[in-house]
Every structure is written in structure tokens, then in C-alpha cells.
Amino acid sequence: MIAENPFAVFRSECEKSLRKALKKQFPKTEIASVALEKPPNPDFGQLASSLCFELSKQVGQKPLAIAEKLASAVSKPKSSLIERVASAGGGYINFHVDFDKFSTLTVESTRKLDTEYGFVKAEGPLKIIVEHTSANPLHPIHIGQARNPMLGDTIARLLKSRGHTVLRHYYIDDVGRQSSVVAYGYEK
């Protein structure tokens, strides 16, 4: 298996496992979304859910009791990136990643995807115009004007690698007031 974003695979597994455990333990409850966030301390796992606090209002049980039931009900397939699930802190459910499997997935994905690894494609590609550089022809070029083409082109390349249609525009400041003054002065 390869993945453009191994952590997204882990997150997805955690969400699916938590939804299954929720259906198993509390079949009559309805939860619209299962929010997973990064815990404040890595010792608490890589992802945590505060779902039990919301669920306790519907079920009428303490959040910690709900967390213990859900953590014990989580079933994970053999190939899962989830190492273990634990209840903690008064009602949180903590998910710990299996670092051996996670690192294997990451290395395999990096090897197979090569330069495409790490570039997550945009869900809805856009048509984007990147305007940059605009060096003033009446003044000497300085380091800031040398930096701008590099920044503009880098931004354009990053957007293109995400799947957007990118048009690059380079405007030379030859149509403004200063060019008119130069042309007028040249004629005199």
C-alpha cells in the first residue's frame, strides 16, 4: 500500500474505528462528525477525540465511562496503523500510531511516488494568475527586485504541483507615469 499522505490514512482509520465502536456501543445515538485533534502531549497519542463529552449529554453517562466503553470496543484490522486506543483525562479517547507500520508506509510511499510524495492534489483545481517581478526600468535593479522573480515562480510551481492551472504574468513597468515622463523628456 502507498499513500500520498500517510497521516491522513491513520486519521481515516481512527475515524472509521471510532464510528464502528460508537455504533456497537450506542446504536441509537446520532453523531454528525467525529472530530480528531492533536493532543497537547505526545504521550497521549497522536490523535485524540473529545466525542465523549458531547455524547454524555445524549446518553446520560459520565464522559470517562463512555470513553472506556468506546476504547475497549474499537476493533482494528491486522494491517491497521493504530497500535492502541486508550481512554484518558476524564473522557478523551487517545489513538496511538504503530510507528513500525507507519514508517514502513511512509518509506514505501516515498520510494514509489518519488517527487510526487508530499504534494497533495487540490480537491477543486482553480485557474490562478501569479503576477510577479515588475522591475522599475528607471531605477537600478537591487536585491529585492532579484528576489521577487524567484518567489513568484516558486509560488506558481507549488500551485501547479497541487493541480491548479497557473498563468504567470511578468509586468515590466513601461506603461506608467514614469515612462511618460521619460518619453516627454527625451523629446525635449
Task: Let me know whether 68 and 16 are in one domain.
Answer: yes
For residue 67, with 0-12 CB atoms within 10 Å meaning exposed, 13-18 middle and 19 or more buried, which class applies?
Answer: buried
Task: Let me know whether 95 and 127 are in one domain.
Answer: no
The confidence score (pLDDT) of residue 156 equals 95
Q: Determine the Cα–Cα distance for residues 151 and 146; give it in Å rounded to an integer.
A: 9
The average pLDDT across 30-47 equals 90
Task: Let me know whether 165 and 129 are in one domain.
Answer: yes
Q: Determine the Cα–Cα distance for residues 133 and 124; give it in Å rounded to an integer.
A: 28
CATH number of the domain where residue 35 is located: 3.30.1360.70
The answer to whether position 115 is within a domain reads no
The answer to whether position 111 is within a domain reads no
The average pLDDT across 125-141 equals 80
The answer to whether position 114 is within a domain reads no
Q: Do 86 and 47 form a contact (C-beta atoms < 8 A)?
A: no
Task: Let me know whether 62 and 95 are in one domain.
Answer: yes
Task: Let me know whether 40 and 90 are in one domain.
Answer: yes
Q: Is the pLDDT of residue 53 over 80?
A: yes
The confidence score (pLDDT) of residue 178 equals 61
Domain tally for the chain?
A: 2
Range from 8-22, 102-116, 159-173 carrying the lowest mean pLDDT: 159-173
The confidence score (pLDDT) of residue 43 equals 92
Task: Let me know whether 88 and 140 are in one domain.
Answer: no
Q: Side chain identity at 1, as an amino acid letter?
A: M
The answer to whether position 146 is within a domain reads yes
Q: Is the pLDDT of residue 137 over 90?
A: no
The answer to whether position 39 is within a domain reads yes
pLDDT tens sequence across 86-108: 999 889 999 999 999 999 999 99
Q: Do 89 and 68 form a contact (C-beta atoms < 8 A)?
A: no
The average pLDDT across 35-57 equals 92
Task: Let me know whether 133 and 55 are in one domain.
Answer: no
| Best CA proximity match to 9, nearest among 94, 96, 115, 82 | 82
pLDDT tens sequence across 142-167: 787 778 888 999 999 999 988 999 99
Range from 21-25, 113-117, 140-144 carrying the lowest mean pLDDT: 140-144
Provide the residue range defining the domain that includes 160: 123-187
Range from 8-17, 22-31, 63-72, 171-180 carrying the lowest mean pLDDT: 171-180
The confidence score (pLDDT) of residue 187 equals 72
Q: Which of 45, 66, 101 is the last residue of a domain?
A: 101
Q: Is the pTM of this model over 0.75?
A: no
